[in-house]
Structures are given as structure tokens and as C-alpha cells.
Amino acid sequence: MAEVLVFHHGHGLTDGVREFAEQLRRAGHTIHVPDLFEGQVFDTLEEGIDYAAKVGFDTIITRGTAAAERLPVELVYLGFSLGVLPAQKLAQTRPGAKGALLLEACAPVSEFGGAWPRNIPVQVHGMDADPFFSGEGDVDAARALVETAADAELFLYPGDRHLFTDSSLPSHDEHAATQATQRMLGFLDHITWPTDAGSTA
């Protein structure tokens, strides 16, 4: 089973993110969900992004990096939207990464030092008319990643909702979220994992 470090989105560590983590745990995986907002959860995405901007997006990434440093190096990194920043950086730069799952965001690989590491599989998930994912260039970065990486997949779902995988938000789309979760569980099941890796933490 995989060990996964999950980074929340711009609302903070919501009940929906916690529930998603529980789904992965119920499938037998070891899941870690640090709080990058230090206890704050915001009703609107705008409030959350304003908070992240005030403390600094570099600070958010640094908090994610600090969370990873307390864990084994052999991790899958998963990020929701804003959480893609630390997830993608760690997948590209921290030795030992086993994979990456990027939800509703994707940065150009040049943001974190160049080409995607050849031995690290990655999936990107987003809605095809999401104004953040499809309207701000993330889908283009995802397509470029798929074209250049050795093992990369992009899954587009019909709709314009951002954070469609969070069951605690009005933007939740149950059908698309279920489909995305099944694909991510399949991804984790195919990760090559050391036989002595833990699965109960």
C-alpha cells in the first residue's frame, strides 16, 4: 500500500478534505494531512487565497516541505488546487518520491527546476470548463506535462466547478468526484512499494 502526503486547497483543511483522506485510508493506504493554514478554514475561496497571499505562497510551500521532512522519503504527493504547489515541488525535487496526484491545478514544470523526473508517475485531474484550471493556464501546463513525462495522465471532467472533489463544498460534483477517486485509487494500487512499508499510521 502507498504512503500519501495530502495538501489541502485554499479553503483550508475542510471536512471534505478529511473525508477524502479517510477514503484512501479505508482502501489501506497510509495518509498524512498537514494543516498548511494553521487551523484556519475559510468559507470562501477568495478569503483563503487572500490569507495565503498575505502569509506568502512561498510560506505555504515551506510549510508543506516541513511536513514532508518529518516523514519517510518514499511518498506519493497529492495536492488539491493551492496544495498542488507543495505537492508538485516535492514530487519534482525531493528524492524518493513515488508519484504525484495533482487535482485542479498544475504548474509548469519549469517552476520547480525543469523536467519532470522520469521515474515518477503523475495524474492530473480537473474540469474542462473550470475557470481556474482551464482558464488560467493550468490545463496547458498539464498537457505539456503529459507530452514530456514518461508516465503522466490528464483526466478532464465535464463541468465548470472548482474543487469538485470536496464533499463539504457547494462545488462538489459527486459523479466526477467518484470517478476521480477511483482513478486515483487505481494509481496508488499500481505504485511499486517496498514490502516493509507501513500502512497503519
Instruction: Measure the CA–CA gap between 146 and 135, rounded to whole angstroms.
Output: 18
- Comparing CA positions, the residue from 63, 75, 73 lying closest to residue 99 is 75
199 assigned to some structural domain: no
**pLDDT for residue 1:** 84
Q: Kindly state whether residue 44 falls inside one of the protein's structural domains.
A: yes
Measure CA of the first residue to CA of the last residue in the chain; give whole Å: 12
Residue 55 covered by a domain: yes
Residue 105: phi, psi to the nearest 5? Answer: -165, 155
Calculate the alpha carbon distances from 103 to 77, 78, 100, 166, 199 in Å. Answer: 11, 8, 10, 11, 23
The predicted structure's pLDDT at residue 14: 97
- Supply the pLDDT for residue 190: 87
- Residue 198: inside a domain: no
Q: What confidence score (pLDDT) does residue 194 get?
A: 58
The overall average pLDDT reported for the chain is: 93
For residues 102 and 108, the answer to whether their CB atoms sit within 8 Å is no
Low-confidence stretches of the chain (pLDDT < 50) are 196-201
Let me know if residue 39 belongs to a domain.
yes
pLDDT in tens, 25-42: 999 999 999 999 999 999
The residue whose grid cell reads 501546463 is: 141
Total domains, the chain = 1
What's the number of CA atoms in the CB half-sphere (13 Å) around residue 73? 5
The answer to whether residue 201 sits within a structural domain is no
Q: What is the pLDDT of residue 193?
A: 63
Identify which of 95, 75, 93, 92 has the alpha carbon closest to the alpha carbon of residue 34.
75
Provide the domain limits for residue 19: 3-189
Helices (H) and strands (E) in the chain, counts: 6, 6
> Between β-strands 122-127 and 152-157, what pairing exists: parallel, antiparallel or unpaired?
parallel
CA distance 114 to 110: 4
29 is a domain residue = yes
Q: What is the CATH number of the domain that holds 97?
A: 3.40.50.1820
Identify whether 14 is part of a domain.
yes
Q: How far apart are CA 108 and CA 141, in angstroms?
A: 5
Per-residue model confidence as pLDDT tens digits over 127-147: 999 999 988 899 999 999 999
| The pLDDT value given to residue 135 | 86
